[in-house]
Amino acid sequence: MQQQLRDQLAKPAIDAPPTLPSNMRQLVVLILADYFQSKRILIEWGSAFAVAAMLMRNSTNTHDLMATWSIYTVLVALYTTSVLADIAEQPFQLQRLLAIQSRRAYINAYLIAANVIVLSCYIIVVSLSYVIAPLARPSLELLGTSFINLVVLTSLVTTLMLMLTPLVANSHQRILVLLSITMPFSWNILGPAIQHFIGPNYSKYIAACTTFFGVVLWPSLHLYTTIITPHFDRVMIGVIVFHLIIIMGIIRQITIWFNKKSLKIA
């Protein structure tokens, strides 16, 4: 009887809490390990094989190939970040937040994990492209320059996507962020529509907004351009520094909003 009791106590509990980390680095490793063990990574990696096989097979244009890489990586960044944000919000997973005692470390760990997964997909799709599309291979110098810009762009995408998830922002905050993002990109449509509605008397204000949004969008458009047609110069360095500052500002705002969230921890 005593032996049976010992055996029962030795068995792991079915609802045992997840392995608890002591710092952010351990938390990143645990997040990635859970993601791989759950087989969710097969969606991202499978998509990399599918994109390479269907869209890049026998490609002969280097710039088209690199454009496909960048668009695919951005789409993966949006998907992976949203999935990880859903996982991070689960009460069972939030027990790890109690272990590290830092909301900032917790949210940053999921952001780092998202970027690691996205970059792994990029490496897979590039490696496959070098095999199946030999005529479109970029030089290692071009690939290295493009990679630097891509890392910055994907970091910006994952950070913005994390900010837009229910884990961080409430509905009003998400609407505000979406408006600030979509307004510049859709101004070519909204501007003429607004001018048609309010009349030509305010055309100078419409023109001023058009100029302003053009200036706002230029760094990001230039960053995307240097991914497809890489060239290393001072402008590129300035654009990268500009986006790094923006990313740090967004992460700071994410931390502020996440610190104010009411979380249900099991």
What percentage of the chain carries pLDDT values higher than 90?
Answer: 42
- Global pTM reads 0.84
d(CA 217, CA 232): 20
d(CA 92, CA 73): 30
Domain boundary assignment for the chain: 20-259
Contacts (Cβ under 8 Å, ≥6 apart) of 258: 103, 104, 107, 167, 168
Contacts (Cβ under 8 Å, ≥6 apart) of 101: none
d(CA 3, CA 26): 36
pLDDT at residue 202, rounded to an integer: 64
pLDDT at residue 107, rounded to an integer: 94
pLDDT at residue 157, rounded to an integer: 94
pLDDT single digits (tens) 40-99: 999 999 999 999 888 777 788 888 889 999 999 999 999 999 999 999 988 888 888 888
- Asked whether residue 13 carries a pLDDT value surpassing 80, the answer given is no
- Asked whether residue 224 carries a pLDDT value surpassing 80, the answer given is yes
